[in-house]
Chain A
Amino acid sequence: MSTYNGVSRRKFLKMSSAVGLAIALGGGLSACGSPSAPTPSATQVGGGATSGGSSPVRLDFWDMVWGPPEYIQTAKDLVKQFNDEHKSIQVNYRSIPWNNWYQTFTTAIGAGTAPDISTGAGYQAVQFYDSGAILPVDEVIEEWRKSGELEDFVPGSVDILKYDGHYVALPWAIDIRIPWYRTDMFEKAGVKEPTNWDELRAALKQLTGNGKYGMVASNDTGGTHYLYFFILNNGGGIFTKDRKLDWMNPRNVEAIKYLSSLVKDGSVSPASAGYSGDDASKAFGRGEAALKIDGPGFDQGFPADTAKKMAILPPIKGPHGDLGTVYWINNIMLYKQTKDPEATMEFLKWWSKNQKPLWTKGHNGQLPARKSFASDPYFKNDPRLSFINDKWVSVGKTVATHAPSIFPQLNAVEGQGVMQTLIQDILQGKDPVESMQKAEPQLKAIMGES
């Protein structure tokens, strides 16, 4: 017995209680975050495009998965087209999944193996610019301003990406949140499309009953979009023009109180606080909720017979007559690690002008940042897409509102969990003002104002 005890003690003191655990915890995390200064290592082979050498410049282009499988193939075909047209520049296309995208990029930048150019999440360019990894595209913007090319972009979309006096990326797509509803449930309940908040509240109440609910939300980042939707719809905003936190302003409080009142009415599915975005979408698809706020490609995720029963509400007026929703200007950015900025910018310009097939063939789930693309029959002949382009894009606002452009802290504001906790509080029926007050110190900490 004593021998057994002795062995077990030693084993556990050695194995379990200290070193093994320390390594599992501390080491596991530390291994993932190995910050170091970026070092140049772009994949240039032979002479550059401008050097007149025989070997082509090789560029790495990392593109996020922005649509169904045909999107990737279309993007590959486009890259091939570029390569065929530009013998001195050869681009390697790599599709990057959204899972762990941030780690993928940070690891690559830290290891000096960043791509020359990439698409990315809404705040990726400003975040990485702040870390010294992004090459501004000022000269492209200046060139296009002179040539008039810049006029083709949705108003404001280019300047939203101006940070620290530099254009850190070029806009290419718009992700926007819009209220989708089920026409069958509206018809059955005899509800007309609401045009203002009072009507929306009444409609959701009328749609609720027999185990079905007016609206469904989720507890993840998709759920936080409801917060931004109502805040921006009410003419509110989380920031001042000079990027200071302005969280508890009356418009924001009014919007969150309104959302909370919908929950207290019983019009929001009680399962929402436990639903992921996918769960909420499935509940909507099963006809358990009549309304869900989601992106432009939301209907693509449903069978045709369900998608037929879906429609989009027109912009709803807030109590002060404001219109609005949240949108993100997705961007394409260059990395400082590139060895041939000139060739990379050439590809950037070509890609920006020629990427329309990403929608027409690749069925990209977002909207184009170029007006000329949006006027293509692909969009014009699709009643939903044209409706979003015509009615919603013009009232879109960023989470940075009322600041004129995006900034790095927005990533933590959206991603760190403060807003997720807030929407979960609201969906559980907690006091909205107390919940907002609880979030304020964390938002201040993110902004460095505490």
Chain B
Amino acid sequence: MSTSVTKQEVSTLLSSRRRGRLESLPYLLVLPSLALICLIELYPFVTGFYYSLKSGSLLNTGEFVGLGNYIRLWSMPDFIHALYFSALFAFFAVFGSYLVGLGLALVLARDVPGKGFFRVALLIPWIIPSIVSITSWRWLIQDQHGSVNVFLSWFGLGPYYFLSSEHLAMLSVIVIKIWRSFPFMMVSLIAALQTIDQSLYEAAAIDGAGRWATFRYVTLPHIKTISVVMWILMTIWSVNDFDTPWLLTQGGPSNATENLIVLAYRYTFAGNMVGIGTAIAFTMLVILAVLSILILRYQERED
């Protein structure tokens, strides 16, 4: 058996090493990002879940209570109400913003005068920082001197104290959420509408389809996929929306506008009950994950 190595063998060996290096290169390149994600996302996630299994405060880790915090949630009236309001808030926010966004998108996708201006101008509610827009809304509606009540008084109506009664406050929070959200729906739907082949509309017209039939059988199928995506996103953003209820009402009056994320904040930071606060957050996660999967499966079946 010869111990000498031929040039060809060396070359083969090197190339196999090179091949190995090349194959592992993508993994090596991904590694720093992966480590960073684990550090800043996975670690807090796992730690957060661990805290939800304990009865700790912001200063003490507390005792291990297993699923005790999760079980306790379902006997807490404020959690049940927050769950109800989160569902209500998300439903109307998605439904309302989609309807407004779709209506405007259908108009602005056409050749209407001032189309460019309106497309930009109608984005303003989406662009303005929430602290600015919601604080402005507070001033507009909170008492008899707010512009909305001044306007209503011209017609002999009001004053209405929109933030001082539970039902009006709930309505106000939802309406303002719709106002903040419709531009996203509008822009996405305009983009979707522009991808529809115009020849389909021409064919529908030749077939004698009316406006509703054209919308029902041409437009709607083509924007359905993007619509489902937007519904899911808007549901998640609505359930997670801290800014709108907090800046407008701080969850009041009498907890009427307190959604799950505000409740989680209140328990964690005002009540110093980290276990309950994180349990609320993780319950939200499960509910949203299940909801998203159900919607996606439904869409898959429809397709």
| A contact residues vs B (CB 8 Å cutoff) | 1-2, 4-5, 8-9, 12-13, 16-19, 21-36, 102-103, 106, 109-110, 128, 131, 133, 211, 219-220, 269-276, 279, 283, 286, 288, 411-412, 415-417, 420-421, 424-425, 427-428, 430
Contacts and interface: CB of A to CB of B under 8 A. Distances in A.
Contact of B271 (A17, A30, A416): A416
Interface string B234-257: 001000100000000111111100
What 9 pairs between A and B have smallest CB-CB spacing? A30-B48, A274-B163, A17-B292, A27-B44, A26-B48, A271-B143, A273-B164, A274-B164, A424-B253
Given A219-B252, A274-B169, A421-B255, A29 B296 contact: no
B250 A30 contact: no
Interface stretch (B51-59, B103-111, B126-134, B174-182): B51-59
Nearest to A133: B59
Which of B165, B166, B296, B299: most chain A Cβ within 10 A?
Answer: B296
Contact of A102 (B58, B229, B282, B292): B58
A126 B284 CA distance: 34
Contacts of B225: 1, 4-5, 8
A428 B161 CA distance: 11
Contact of A34 (B47, B251, B269): B47
B259 to A, nearest CB: 12
Contact of A25 (B47, B281, B299): B281
Interface of B: 41-42, 44-45, 47-52, 56-62, 138, 142-145, 161-166, 169, 225, 229, 232-233, 236, 240, 249-255, 261, 264, 266-272, 274, 277-278, 281-282, 284-285, 288-289, 291-293, 296, 299-300, 303
B61 A35 contact: yes
A275 B142 contact: yes
A432 to B, nearest CB: 13
27 contacts: A9-B296, A12-B292, A13-B292, A21-B285, A25-B240, A25-B284, A26-B282, A28-B281, A32-B268, A33-B274, A33-B278, A35-B56, A35-B59, A35-B62, A102-B272, A103-B58, A133-B59, A271-B163, A273-B253, A274-B142, A276-B250, A279-B143, A412-B272, A417-B271, A421-B255, A424-B252, A430-B254
Contact of A5 (B61, B145, B285, B303): B303
A22 B282 contact: yes
Contact of B278 (A4, A29, A110): A29
A274 B162 contact: yes
B282 to A, nearest CB: 5
A271 B60 contact: no
B41 A106 contact: no
Contacts of B61: 35-36
Given A29-B281, A32-B58, A35-B61, 4 more contacts: A8-B225, A12-B296, A17-B292, A110-B59
Contacts of B282: 22, 25-26
Please report whether the interface of chain A is mostly helix, strand, loop or mixed according to DSSP. Answer: helix
A4 B192 CA distance: 13
A415 B60 contact: no
A420 to B, nearest CB: 7
A438 B187 CA distance: 46
Given A103-B58, A283-B143, A26 B45 contact: yes
A88 B214 CA distance: 86
A33 B144 CA distance: 41
A21 B236 contact: yes
A271 B161 contact: yes
Contacts of A428: 164-166, 253-254
A416 B258 CA distance: 13
Which of B48, B59, B62: most chain A Cβ within 10 A?
Answer: B59
A61 B62 CA distance: 29
Contacts of A12: 229, 232, 292, 296
A415 B270 CA distance: 6
Contacts of B253: 219, 273-274, 424-425, 427-428
B164 A271 contact: yes
Which of B143, B250, B255: most chain A Cβ within 10 A?
Answer: B143
Given A9-B296, A273-B161, A411-B272, A106 B59 contact: yes
Nearest to B162: A274
Which of B49, B165, B271, B299: most chain A Cβ within 10 A?
Answer: B271
Contact of B250 (A5, A25, A220): A220
A31 B269 CA distance: 12
A8 to B, nearest CB: 6
B254 A29 contact: no
Contacts of A24: 240
Given A21-B289, A270-B164, A26 B142 contact: no
Nearest to B165: A428
Contact of B293 (A13, A27, A102): A13
Contact of A273 (B60, B232, B252): B252
A67 to B, nearest CB: 25
Given A12-B232, A25-B282, A131 B144 contact: no
Contacts of A430: 254
Contacts of B51: 29-30, 33
A17 B278 CA distance: 18
A35 B277 contact: no
Contacts of A16: 232-233, 236, 292
A36 B60 CA distance: 6
Contact of B41 (A4, A27, A283): A27
A18 B289 contact: yes
Contacts of A288: 145
Nearest to A30: B48
B57 A29 contact: no
A5 B300 contact: yes
A250 B201 CA distance: 75
Contacts of A220: 250
A98 to B, nearest CB: 14
A69 to B, nearest CB: 23
A362 to B, nearest CB: 29
A283 B164 CA distance: 15
B262 to A, nearest CB: 10
A412 B285 CA distance: 27
Nearest to A270: B161
